[in-house]
């Protein structure tokens, strides 16, 4: 087929409009990459320098790999992990004696959304599973060693309610060896601080469900369905993390609202017309890179450690593991045994996490809990928790309709996440 003839004036017009398109694209990119309106013009250059960094980083890594001896001085380490052992690959082993490491009623810090026994959970096997990596053993959690090494230091978990659960689990694992009058737990807005006074150590939690700034940042009032984030803005939160010695980040659940995220290009309270929609994975990538950039600039790798906990899976549809057609985690009392099982967790987000950390200079240790938690359909709080609002007769007649298949009972699965963190912190 012949293409229709075109006059030279219309071709000039299309060159012009292509030119216009390129300019608007550059401006668009500039918007995305600049934290504030003011640095719009720096945007595109920032972009190309990031690519530049990546291409030279490969060589830098090879160079470091040649100097294995130097790698030995990882801050906080007291030993080495077994070479070639992937802690996150393995199986759940039932351990009646060895687990749990504390009792639900013995730890007063567990929030009523996670105390399953006191809310009537009839079974307790979910507390007795121990994670067994395929090629090595997890070091046993030693609370004294942990507190000794945190002497005069701050450890902070930053993220959403799942990270809050992991924070509480850590406090429960430690609090037993601290006398009653030398510990305290206090909350100031987004920050909750557990103090071990004799050690002058704190374990803290900071609420920032997207890590970057969002309209869901209020630690109490944040049940917002129309979520909006500023993917390049982190300092509003990060100023509360500055100077912390051990940081543990997570962010995932709040991004899972659909295919797209709403991104605000400018401050909240300003012109809300500057909201664009972006693919969730891309928005997530921007936020993660912003966090990594902050770590690179603000954390001293010879004195501090930074961790990132991967996605916490949920168990909303039992068909996925060969269960009933309309079931979920409700009434589940045993782990999934099919080692290939992978539920609804986003593989795309996992890929983004891998890519962003591979390309970063900042040493961030991934606590890859997703696969091992996928097996734990039995470990959720389900209906055995304090409810936000009274249940209707219809709900009560159909318990699975209000089961929480996102959060986890304590003691339980999240203690294992901390055992893995402990292993990576002291035996890297
Ligand atoms: C725990 O760590 C402390 C301090 O390093 C040490 O003295 C103690 O022997 C350890 N306990 C066990 C059971 O290994
Ligand atoms: C207590 O720990 C903080 C850091 O969390 C440190 O700045 C301070 O100097 C320590 N105080 C003492 C008395 O060791
Ligand atoms: C819960 O599970 C048990 C045993 O697997 C089964 O007998 C019971 O009918 C289930 N209950 C509900 C409400 O699904
Ligand atoms: C986390 O572990 C899973 C299962 O072993 C693996 O498929 C995934 O690639 C890992 N993610 C990263 C970012 O390493």
Distance 199 CA to ligand 3 centre (A): 48
Rounded to the nearest whole angstrom, what is the distance from the C-alpha of residue 377 to the centroid of ligand 3?
15
Return the bridge partners of 248, or none. Answer: 157, 307
Alpha-carbon distances of 287 from 86, 98, 353, 358, rounded to whole Å = 27, 39, 11, 16
Predicted local confidence at residue 264, as pLDDT: 93
Question: Would you say the CB of residue 354 lies under 6 angstroms from ligand 4?
Answer: yes
64: in domain: yes
Any atom of ligand 4 within 6 Å of the Cβ of 88: yes
Which residues have a catalytic role annotated? 161, 404, 407
The arithmetic mean of pLDDT across residues 299-325, rounded, is: 96
18 lies in some domain: no
CA-wise closest residue to 234 among 164, 286, 309: 286
pLDDT on residue 9 = 47
Closest protein CA for atom 13 of ligand 1: 142
CATH number of the domain to which 142 belongs: 3.40.50.1110
Range of the domain at 122: 37-426
Give the DSSP letter string of 204-236.
EEEE-TTSSEETT--SSS---SS-EEETT--HH
Split at pLDDT 50, 70, 90, the class of 51 is very low
pLDDT band for position 16 (50/70/90)?
A: low
CA end-to-end span of the chain, whole Å?
65
Q: What is the distance between the alpha carbons of residues 295 and 307, in angstroms, rounded to a whole number?
A: 11
Whether 142 lines ligand 1, by a CB cut-off of 6 Å, is yes
Write down the pLDDT at residue 56.
30
> Mean of the pLDDT values across residues 281-297?
97
Neighbours of 193 (CB within 10 A): 16
Does some domain include residue 19?
Answer: no
**Residue 29 in domain:** no
Strand pairing category for 201-207 and 191-196? antiparallel
Residue having the nearest C-alpha atom to atom 10 of ligand 4:
368
Per-residue pLDDT tens over the stretch 407-424: 999 999 999 999 999 999
pLDDT of 20 higher than 80: no
Of all protein residues, the one whose alpha carbon is nearest to atom 3 of ligand 4 is: 371
216-261 pLDDT, tens digit per residue, is 998 887 777 789 999 889 999 999 999 999 999 999 999 999 889 9
In a domain, 2, yes or no: no
Residue 151 Cβ contacting ligand 2 at under 6 Å: no
* DSSP class of 152: T
- Closest ligand by atom to 374 CA: 4
| 121 Cα–ligand 3 center, Å | 14
Residue 26 lies in a domain: no
Residue with tokens 């009623």: 105
CA separation for the pair 42, 56 (Å, rounded)? 21
Q: What does the pLDDT read at residue 5?
A: 40
The 10 Å CB-count burial string (b at 16+, else e) for 149-188 is bbeebbbbbbbbbbbbbbbbbbbbbbbeebeeeebeeeee
Average pLDDT over every residue of 378-407? 96
Residue 117 included in any domain: yes
Numbers of helices and strands, H then E, in the chain: 11, 15
> Element (H or E) spanning 292, and its range?
helix 280-298
State residue 359's pLDDT score: 95
pLDDT of res. 423: 98
Helices assigned H by DSSP within 34-158: 43-65, 68-71, 143-149
Q: What is the pLDDT of residues 346-391, one digit of tens each?
A: 999 999 999 999 999 999 999 999 999 999 999 999 999 999 889 9
pLDDT of residue 35: 41
Residues 124, 129, 133, CA angle at the centre, nearest 5°?
170
Q: In this predicted structure, what is the pLDDT of residue 8?
A: 46
Domains: count for the chain: 1
Q: Which residues pair with 305 in a beta bridge?
A: 246
For the Cβ of 85 lying below 6 angstroms from any atom of ligand 1, the answer is no
Please, is 247 exposed, middle or buried when counting C-beta atoms within 10 Å of its C-beta (0-12, 13-18, 19+)?
A: buried
Q: What is the predicted pLDDT for the residue at 17? A: 59
- Cα gap 20→14, rounded to integer Å: 10
Between residues 90 and 52, which one has the greater pLDDT?
Answer: 90
Give a yes or no: residue 7 inside a domain: no
How is residue 42 annotated by DSSP?
A: G
Ligand nearest to the CA of 400: 3
Is the pLDDT confidence value at 126 over 50? Answer: yes
For residue 419, give the nearest of 77, 107, 82, 146 by alpha carbon. Answer: 146
């Amino acid at each position: 087929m012949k293409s229709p003839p075109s006059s030279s004036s219309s071709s000039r017009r299309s060159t012009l409009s292509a030119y216009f398109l390129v300019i608007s694209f550059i401006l668009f990119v500039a918007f995305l990459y600049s934290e504030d309106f003011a640095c719009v013009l720096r945007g595109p250059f920032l972009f190309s320098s990031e690519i530049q960094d990546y291409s030279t980083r490969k060589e830098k890594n090879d160079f470091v790999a040649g100097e294995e001896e130097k790698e030995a001085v990882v801050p906080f380490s007291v030993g080495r992990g077994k070479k070639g052992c992937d802690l996150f690959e393995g199986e759940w082993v039932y351990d009646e004696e060895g687990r749990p490491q504390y009792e639900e009623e013995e730890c007063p810090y567990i929030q009523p959304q996670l105390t399953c026994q006191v809310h009537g959970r009839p079974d307790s096997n979910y507390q007795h599973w121990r994670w067994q990596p395929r090629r090595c053993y997890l070091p046993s959690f030693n609370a004294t060693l942990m507190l000794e090494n945190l002497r005069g230091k701050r450890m902070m978990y930053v993220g959403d309610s799942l990270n809050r659960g992991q924070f509480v689990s850590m406090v429960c694992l430690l609090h037993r060896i601290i006398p009653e009058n030398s510990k305290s737990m206090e909350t100031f807005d987004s920050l909750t601080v557990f103090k071990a006074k004799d050690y002058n150590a704190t374990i803290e939690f900071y609420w920032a469900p997207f890590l970057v700034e969002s309209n869901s940042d209020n630690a109490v009032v944040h049940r917002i369905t129309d979520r909006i984030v500023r993917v390049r803005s982190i300092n509003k939160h990060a100023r509360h993390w500055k100077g912390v010695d051990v940081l543990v980040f997570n962010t995932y659940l709040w991004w899972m609202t659909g295919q797209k995220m709403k991104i605000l290009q400018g401050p909240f309270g300003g012109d809300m017309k500057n909201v664009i929609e972006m693919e969730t994975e891309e928005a997530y990538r921007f936020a993660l890179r912003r966090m990594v950039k902050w770590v690179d600039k603000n954390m001293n790798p010879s004195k501090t450690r930074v961790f990132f906990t991967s996605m916490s899976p949920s168990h909303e549809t039992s068909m996925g593991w060969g269960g009933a057609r309309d079931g979920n985690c409700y009434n589940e009392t045993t782990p999934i045994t099919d080692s290939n099982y992978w539920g609804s967790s986003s593989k795309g987000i996992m890929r983004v996490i891998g890519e962003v950390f591979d390309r970063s200079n900042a040493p961030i240790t991934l606590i890859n809990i997703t696969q091992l938690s996928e097996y734990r359909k039995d470990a959720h709080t389900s209906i055995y928790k304090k409810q936000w609002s009274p249940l209707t007769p219809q709900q009560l007649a159909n318990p699975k309709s209000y089961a929480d298949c996102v959060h986890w009972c304590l003691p339980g699965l999240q203690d294992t996440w901390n055992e893995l963190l402990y292993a990576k912190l002291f035996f890297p």
